[in-house]
Amino acid sequence: MEKNALIAVVLSMVVLLLWSFFGSQSEKPLPQPPAVEQAAEQEAAKPVPTNESVTASTPVEPSVAVPEVVPTTQARTIVVEHPLYRAELTENQAGFLSFRLKKYRETVAKDSPPLELFKAHQPCLVLGLYNNSVPELPRALFTSDRSRIDLTGKSAPEALTFQWTSPQGLRFIKKYTFHPDSYLIDLDVTVSNFGAGVFDDNLELSLIGSPFDHANSSYNEVHMTALIGNSLKTEALKKLEEQDIVAGEIHWAAYVDNYFMTAMVPDQAFTGSVRISPRGDSTVRIDLVNPPANLPKAMETRYGYHLYFGPRQLEVLKSLHLGLERVVDYGFFDIIAKPVLYLLKWFYKGLHNYGLAIILVTVIIKILFWPLTQKSYTSMKAMKDLQPQMTKIREQYKDDKQRINAEMMGLYKTHKVNPLGGCLPMVIQIPVFFALYRILVQSIEMRHAPFMLWVNDLSAPDRLPIGFDLPYVGGLPVLTLLMGLSMFIQQKMTPTPGDPTQAKMMMMLPIVFTFLFINFPSGLVLYWLVNNILSIGQQYLINKKA
């Protein structure tokens, strides 16, 4: 029974590790409603607009009109210098060309440039129309009221306004408002009808580009995520082979990786659809399709949005009160992961080192589970003492497995020994282990967080450069090897099971775990190493007392 339980625990842990490595903790495919599916066949996979309009139209008044500016023949680039980022916008479709985060770097190298949140092959965050009633809009050359904005050292927000008028007499105004203390950007889109007829079409706001080119790690996967009603829908972009559409009450849509996100959030949720379209040039397009405008002559309507281009950080997203914090989800172990993360951050405030914080958290967890582990080790010692009697039972009833099991259970009951007690130290670590794994690979706080010496990124595997590359691993995985050695010492100190097969399996565990951990985040290896060292100390005290 003890052997079977041990095998079950080890296999379960391996399966969970592989699931965490290759799987997504909360990925749900984007459903395509029947109505949309039918429209896809008829309209080249376009979403079905609703008949419900959430934008109010008002008469066009000179007082609200933006002063006319002389259009340019060539698109200008407008730079926005912000304490948190540097953005470049273009008059071509009034979209973004670049967005670099000043507090984050592309790599851990000291000379690494600020992180580019998206690399657009064409302007990003552009306007479109569902029925293409203004065919010139995708190539529109807007005019800007400013050539540069600098928010450094300022406390008040500043606005950047673009406008363009179509040959049909429709004027489109995009007004960006940048806040000096926030990643949040407000976007107001105003459509004014100066033409002869009624404007009846669905406005689309589109994110276009190759999101998160830095997300090249096997741990870091880019998703398209949308909050539809009260349900979070997620699609891995690398698995997206054809257009996907989801309809319902749209709260927001975004590109999300483990550490950053770019999101479009309507002022108020509306009944519409989100369309995700892969492109042949490795870019992906997300369209927010609004309800129909139905705008008569001499009337205008406004669409309000919030844009968030920044870190996927729980406190920052919560402070926006837009529901974006829903993307910070550690899956099945969320209930453990978030308290552990708060504890790590609390220690970090005093230590300024997340590696030391992980060590302290490991010590606290070990103290909390000390009585339980103590009982487990005592049970293992008792099992070892019973080995002669267990061997005698196996020899006496070697042809009757049912009788062997019955006699064994009687022996355990008489001596008050739990045959599963030896597996307890490993079992109680599993939830904390996976919670910490999620924190290390999905929390922006851990990205590029240094520990000491060669360990300069706790979210990446540890590698000590040795002048040449080793096969498969590159540098020398020192922490992982130390972890395997500590696990071997721990096994040698643990009471040896009487079953030779089980004993061999236990001695194989350090080798298995060393290979399993070799590409895991160094912070996770550090946790397991420290836990092993503490377990060795505890086992030494138990053996000394015995």
Tell me if 104 sits within 8 A of 115, measured CB to CB.
Answer: yes
Tell me if 169 sits within 8 A of 252, measured CB to CB.
Answer: no
Tell me the average pLDDT across 492-521: 73
pLDDT higher than 60, residue 29: no
Angle between helices 522-545 and 354-368 (to 10 degrees): 40
How many of the other CB atoms lie within 10 Å of CB of 38? 11
291 vs 298: CA distance, rounded Å: 20
198 vs 204: CA distance, rounded Å: 18
Nearest to 462 by CA among 517, 522, 524, 530: 522
Phi, psi of 379 (to 5 degrees): -65, -40
Looking at per-residue pLDDT, the higher value among 249 and 59 belongs to 249
Tell me if 267 sits within 8 A of 55, measured CB to CB.
Answer: no
Burial class of residue 194 in the structure, from the number of CB atoms within 10 Å of its CB (0-12 exposed, 13-18 middle, 19+ buried): middle
> What pTM, to 2 d.p., does this model score?
0.77
Query: In this predicted model, what pLDDT tens digit does every residue of 301-353 receive, in sequence order?
Result: 999 999 999 999 888 999 999 999 988 887 777 888 888 888 999 999 999 99
β-bridge pairing 77-81 and 148-150: parallel
Q: Would you state the pLDDT for residue 421? A: 56
% residues pLDDT > 70 (the chain): 75
Q: Would you state the pLDDT for residue 180? A: 93
Tell me the average pLDDT across 369-393: 71
Residue type, 369: F
Cα torsion 368, 374, 376, 380 to 10°: value is 160
484 vs 473: CA distance, rounded Å: 16
431 vs 429: CA distance, rounded Å: 6
How do the residues of the chain divide into helix, strand and coil, expressed in percent and rounded to 5? 40, 25, 35
Tell me if 8 sits within 8 A of 428, measured CB to CB.
Answer: no
First CA to last CA across the chain, in angstroms?
Answer: 26
Looking at per-residue pLDDT, the higher value among 36 and 172 belongs to 172
- The CA distances from residue 428 to 13, 25, 365, 370, 456, in Å, are 12, 21, 10, 11, 29
Tell me if 493 sits within 8 A of 536, measured CB to CB.
Answer: yes
Phi, psi of 429 (to 5 degrees): -85, -20
Nearest to 266 by CA among 186, 333, 161, 372: 186
